[in-house]
Amino acid sequence: MRHPVEVGSQRLGILCLSQMPPSPPQFGAQARMHGLYTALARTHDLTAIALADPEFDLHEAEEAMRNYSGEVMVLSNPRGRSGKTKRMLQLQSLLSRRSFERLRVDLPELQTQLDRLLRSRRFDVVQVEFPYLAHLHLRQSPPGTRRPVVVVDAHEIAHEMVRQFARSGSGLGRTLYAGLDWRKLRAEELEAFRSADAVVVCSEVDRQRVLQNLPAVRSVVVPNAADLEHYRPRPGDPSPDGRTVLFFGLLSTLPNIDGVRWLTREIWPQVLRARPDARLKILGKDAPPEVEALAGPTVEVTGFVSDLRPHLASAAAVVVPLRLGGGTRLKIVEAMAMARPIVSTTLGAEGIEARSDQHLLLADTPVAFAADVVKLLNDPRDGARLGNAGRALAEERYSWTGAATALDTLYRELLGGRT
C-alpha cells in the first residue's frame, strides 16, 4: 500500500488561472485574488496566467502581478464586455448551448499556452478563479510526474446572481435574456464544481447553495477579507464631515447598478427631507450613462480613485443598498477595516458575521434604510461605536493572511490525502 504524499510545510507550486488580471486591484474580484495571492506567495511559489479585456493595461498588470508571481503571462482577450463585440457574443449565445460568460473567454490560445506550461513543469495545484475556465484541460504534468489537483474559487454562485436578475423585472429584453442565460450558466457552473477536486466559496451561505445541487462536492469557505494594514484609520486622514454618504464599487456590474438606482430613486429623497445638507458620493470605475446621469446638486458621481481611504475616512456613513448578487461584499469588509459606520441590506451583508446594531445597521426597505442613514448623520458618536466594533471584527476574522491560511490548509489536505 502506498502512503499519502508528505507535504508538510514545503513550498507548493501553484498555477493561478483567471479570466482577468488580479492586479493592480481596482474592484472586488481583483482585490480577492490580489489579497490571497500576495499572502500565499510568502510560503508558496506562484505562477499566474490571466486574460485581459481591452480595458486593462497589459504592461501595468504584468508588473503588478510580478510582486507575487515568479512567472506571469497576460493574454489579450478581444472578446470584451461592451459594445458591438458584446452584442455579437450575446446573439451567439442565444443560438448555442453555451452561456455568454463561457463564450467570452473561449480563446484557443489560452489552452495552447496552458499545454506548454503544464507539460514542461510540474505544479501541485491549479487554482481557477471563477468557473468559466474550469473546462480547460488542466490536469497535465510532465511525463512520470503527479498531476496537479484543481481548485475552483467560485467568488459567487454566478447562475444564482443571473437568476436573481431575471426575476428583478429590470427591462423586458434583459429579463428574457437573463432567463435563458442563467440555465446555461448553471449547467456549466455545476459541471465545473463537479469536476474540481474542491470548490472554494466566500461564505457558508454560498457553500450551502453548492451542496444543495452537489452534496458530494468538497467545498470550503475562504472568506473575503481586507488588507488590514492598508485599510486602517490614520492620523492624517480627513475627519468625517457629518453629511457625506458614500457608495463605492465597480459600477458596470448589475448588482451595483441596481443598488445605485434603488438608492437614488427611493432612499435618497427621504434622506434629503430629513437632512437637506446631505451629500451622496458614488465612487467606482466604468459607470454607465444611466449612473453618470445621476450627478446633481446633492449627488456626486466620481470614477475610479487610486486611494479609497481618504474618501472612506471623510464619509459619515457607507451604504451598501444591494438587492442582487452573491458571495460576500469586499466593500463592507474594507469599510469595517477603516472603522466606518455602514448601512446595508441583509443581502448586501450576506456571508459576513456582523450583527445589526453591533457592527453595522441592516435595513431592507427604503423607509428603514433612509432612517438608518439619517440616524448616522445625526449621531456621529453612535457611528463611531459601530465603526470601532466593525474594525475589531475585521481584525478578528477578515484578514488576507487568515483567508490564505484556510486555502493553504485545503491544498495540503488535498495533496496529503492522495495515494
Task: Give 314-371 as a DSSP string.
Answer: H-SEEEE---S--S--HHHHHHHHTT--EEE-TTTTTTS---BTTTBEE--SHHHHHH
Do 198 and 218 meet the contact criterion of CB atoms below 8 Å apart? yes
> Would you write out the chain's pLDDT as a tens digit for each of its 419 residues?
223 333 445 899 999 999 999 999 998 899 999 999 999 999 999 999 999 998 899 999 999 999 999 999 999 998 866 677 777 887 877 778 888 888 899 999 999 999 999 999 999 999 999 999 999 999 999 999 999 999 999 998 888 877 777 676 566 566 676 777 888 889 999 999 999 999 999 999 999 999 999 999 999 999 999 999 999 999 999 999 999 999 999 998 888 999 999 999 999 999 999 999 999 999 999 899 999 999 999 999 998 999 999 999 999 999 999 998 776 789 999 999 999 999 999 999 998 999 999 999 999 999 999 999 999 999 999 999 999 999 999 999 999 999 999 999 999 999 996 53
- With respect to residue 234, please indicate whether it lies within any of the assigned structural domains: no
In this structure, the answer to whether residues 199 and 319 fall within a common structural domain is no
Of 147, 157, 53, 152, nearest in space to 107 by CA: 53
Q: φ, ψ for residue 234 (rounded to 5)?
A: -125, 145
CA 59 to the chain's CA centroid: 23
In this structure, the answer to whether residues 390 and 273 fall within a common structural domain is yes
In this structure, the answer to whether residues 167 and 257 fall within a common structural domain is no
**Model-wide pTM > 0.85:** yes
In this structure, the answer to whether residues 210 and 276 fall within a common structural domain is no
Q: How far is CA 376 from CA 35, 280, 369, 381, in A?
A: 31, 14, 11, 8
- With respect to residue 308, please indicate whether it lies within any of the assigned structural domains: yes
- With respect to residue 235, please indicate whether it lies within any of the assigned structural domains: no
CA 292 to CA 314: how far, in whole Å?
22
Parallel/antiparallel/unpaired status of strands 198-201 and 219-221: parallel
Of 296, 235, 288, nearest in space to 265 by CA: 296
Q: How far is CA 263 from CA 165, 319, 367, 417, in A?
A: 17, 9, 11, 49
Residue range(s) defining the domain that contains residue 263: 244-397
Do 323 and 345 meet the contact criterion of CB atoms below 8 Å apart? yes
Give the cell for residue 6. Answer: 508528505
- With respect to residue 285, please indicate whether it lies within any of the assigned structural domains: yes
